[in-house]
Amino acid sequence: MNAESLVRGIGMTSERTRRRLIEQLRAEGIANEAVLEVIARTPRHLFVDEALSSRAYENSALPIGRGQTISQPLVVARMTEAVLTGPRLGKVLEIGTGSGYQAAILAQLADQVFTTERIGELARQAKQRLHRLKLHNVFVRHLDGRDGWPSQAPFDAILVTAGGQVPDALYDQLAEGGVLIAPVGEPGRVQHLERVVRTADGLERETLGAVSFVPLLEGLD
């Protein structure tokens, strides 16, 4: 993490605008101050098209091309808070890099982030943004994330940023005590955010609330 470069990156955006977003997240129940601080200093406007940069600090999802979106900040905060079981994470796997914004948030709270994206164009753009911000502990691969990243398993946390059914391969790559969070349910229908913890006895599941994500698809593009 290079906090100084992140702070410089958001210099064009008013402190008031960013703090308004943080207060909205806090009002929605986000209580982890480390998560809130990381979101406050991460330049979300760099992860959207320049034409949408004026809306970057709204609490809303925005299009990033190829039928994909950058998640609503509240959802990013909720997913991050849900997997952060201590002051810092070890190895994290993200399925669905998209713009790279969620990975940038995770990179400041984890030792290593491994993130997969099935759309090559988005993977390349995300890699460039993360390099620009000097977040060198993020590793991006153009990969069908349904198979996870076996060579780097097990992971302390796994985040799936596309909706559907979670492949068994991802559960298999979760370390004991690790947390997986994913939107479960078919896109266009009711989806819910599910938090799964691997214990010595198996998997413990908890539902965190309704969400709406693009579908988890197979293959590369």
Q: Which 3 state secondary structure label does DSSP give 24?
A: helix
Q: Look at the chain and count its residues.
A: 221
- Out of 71, 99, 151, 212, pick the active-site residue: 71
Query: Which residues, 6+ apart, have CB-to-CB distance to 78 below 8 Å?
Result: 30, 193, 208, 209
Architecture of domain 60-211: 3-Layer(aba) Sandwich (3.40)
**Angstrom distances, CA of residue 136 to CA of 1, 90, 108, 113:** 7, 15, 10, 9
Predicted confidence (pLDDT) at residue 189 exceeds the cutoff of 90 = no
Extents of the domains making up the chain? 60-211
Give ∠ CA 76-183-36 in degrees, rounded to 5. 15
Rg (CA), the chain: 16
Give ∠ CA 158-164-167 in degrees, rounded to 5. 50
pLDDT in tens, 10-45: 555 577 888 999 999 999 999 999 999 999 999 999
Backbone angles phi, psi at 202, to 5 degrees: 135, -145
Beta bridge partners of 196: 180, 205
pLDDT in tens, 88-142: 999 999 999 999 999 999 999 999 999 999 999 999 999 999 999 999 999 999 9
Share of residues in the chain with pLDDT > 70 (%): 93
Cα 29–chain centre separation:
18
Mean pLDDT of the chain: 91
CA distance 68 to 177: 31
Cα 119–chain centre separation:
16
Q: Rounded to two decimals, what is the model's pTM? A: 0.92
pLDDT in tens, 150-175: 999 999 999 999 888 899 999 999 99
CA distance 48 to 112: 24
Give the pair of three-digit tokens for residue 25. Answer: 């997240």
Let me know if 99 is a catalytic residue. no
Given pLDDT bands bounded at 50, 70 and 90, which one contains residue 2?
A: low
